[in-house]
Amino acid sequence: MMSKAKRSILYWIILAPLVVVILFPFAVMFVTAVRPRDELFVYPPTWGFSEFRWENFAEMWVKTNFGGALLNSLYVSITATSAALILSIPAAYAMSRYRFAGKGLYKNFLLMTQMMSPIVLVLGLFRLMMTLGLVNDLNSLVITYAAFNMAFTIWMLQSYFNSIPRDLEEAAWMDGASHLTSLIRIFLPLAVPAIVVTAIFTFINSWNEFVLALTMMRSSEDFTLPVQIYSQVAGRYQVEWHHVMAGTVLATVPVAILFSWLQRYLIRGMALGAVK
């Protein structure tokens, strides 16, 4: 066996190329975001630049309605995550604890919903939202994101729920508690780690979704962040790359920090729950 120190050095050497490639886009974002505008297109290209222009961020914020897009993204992601969880928890519980007609069918149906990419369905979805009167309404994204994530959330939660012993609930039933009470009082607190993991996953998916947001949101004040940033690049007579990158930095860093903090739960949840 190698000593821990030796092993650490070896592992970091192996990981180094990957880490460099992972950090590269972040470095690109940052270095471009703080560059003066006239140093964007220089030849030969270089990492260096003359001064840190932090004003780029402020300019970008005002020019691109970044704050509005940020709020939209937060609203959609948080609400969609909550909705997906509220619908998935009982379903996953039922799948984990009961035998009932159509269970296998339902499982396969969920797998199929997972297969559909929003882009494939976008026109049908648009017509649907139109009938529901939800076009140009952020709630149309909330509903679709919740629906598209449900397959994964139910599957994830169910596998995790399977690993929670039934004894506690059974004891509660003996004491005359209803199924609902035992679910809320006894079971859910035990399931918190799995719920957190599922929530992170759904949140990230919703936060990052692009195609549906592009199609459903008609006016610029309803744009979510990915659409907002894409619209700074696409079909413009001129792309303000330093503003675009300032936008991506601001859109990314908070999530990256949050994510770094929560990722341990993600792995633990996968370990406890998935693929049982």
Partner 1 sequence: MAQSGLSALCLLPVATAWTLETMAKKAHISIPMLMVLPSLLLATGIIGYPILDLAWTSMQEVSRFGKLQGFVGWENFAEVFGDPLFYASLWRTGIWTGAVVAGTLLISMPVAMILNDDFYGRGLARVLVMLPWSISLTMTAVVWRWALNGRSGLLNATLMQMGVINEPIEWLAEASTAFTVEILVGILVSIPFTTTILLGGLSSMPQDAYEAAVVDGATGWHQFRYITLPLMKPFINIAIVLNVIYVFNSLPIIWVMTEGGPANGTDILVTYLYKLAFRFGQLGKASAISLIMFGVLLVFTLLYVVLLSRNEADAAPEDEVKGHDE
Partner 2 sequence: MTYAFRTSSAIMALGFGMFGLAPAALAQTVVDFTVAEYSSKTGPYFQEVASAFEAANPDIKINIQVVPWDTLLQRLTTDVAGGTAPDISIIGTRWLLDFADQGVAEPIDSYLTPEFKGTFIDTFMNPGIIDGKIMGLPVAASARAMMVNMDLYDAAGAAPPTTWDELYEASKKIAALPDTFAFGLQGKEIETDAYFYYSLWTHGGDILNADGTSGLNSPAAIESATLYKTMIDEGLTQPSPTNYNREDVFNLFKQGKVGTIFTFPMLVPQIKEEAPNLRYQILPFPEAGAKATYGVTDTLMMFADSDAKEAAWKFIEFAYGDANREKFDVGEGFLPVTKNVAALPYFNEDPDVAGFAAGLPYAKFAPVIANWEEIADVTVRTMQQIYLGEVTPEEGLAAAAAEVNKIRGL
Choose the contact partner of 68 out of partner 1, partner 2, none; CB within 5 to 8 A by kind: partner 2
Residues from 2 through 61 that contact partner 2 (CB under 8 A): 37-38, 41-43
Window 60 to 89, contacts with partner 1 (CB under 8 A): 87-88
Q: Does 188 bind partner 2 (CB under 8 A)?
A: no
266 binding partner (options partner 2, partner 1, none; Cβ < 5 to 8 Å by kind)? partner 1
Tokens for 59, please give them. 């300019």
Q: Measured between alpha carbons, how far is residue 32 from residues 35, 57, 232, 235, 243 in Å?
A: 5, 11, 15, 21, 9
- Does the footprint of partner 1 cover residue 98 (CB under 8 A)? yes
- In angstroms, rounded to a whole number, what is the distance separating the alpha carbons of residues 210 and 123? 15
- How far is 235 from 217, CA to CA, in rounded Å? 18
237 binds, among partner 1, partner 2, none (CB under 5 to 8 A by kind): partner 2
Tokens of 111: 């797998």
Q: In this chain, which stretch among 17-25, 104-112, 210-218, 249-257 interacts with partner 2, using CB under 8 A? A: 210-218
Residue 25 sits in the site that holds partner 1 (CB under 8 A)? yes
Measured between alpha carbons, how far is 274 from 258 in angstroms, rounded to an integer? 23
Footprint of partner 1 on 185-244 (CB under 8 A): 204, 207-211, 225-226, 229-230, 233, 241, 244
Residue with tokens 């609930």: 169
Please enumerate in sequence order all residues whose Cβ is within 8 A of that of 202, keeping only pairs 6 or more positions apart, or say none.
80, 81, 84, 85, 145, 146, 149, 152, 153
Does residue number 265 form part of the binding site for partner 1 (CB under 8 A)? no
* Structure letter (DSSP) for residue 222: G
Residues binding partner 2 (CB under 8 A): 37-38, 41-43, 63, 68, 71-72, 74-75, 78-79, 82-83, 86-87, 122-123, 126-127, 129-130, 135-136, 138-139, 142-143, 214-215, 218-220, 230-231, 234-240
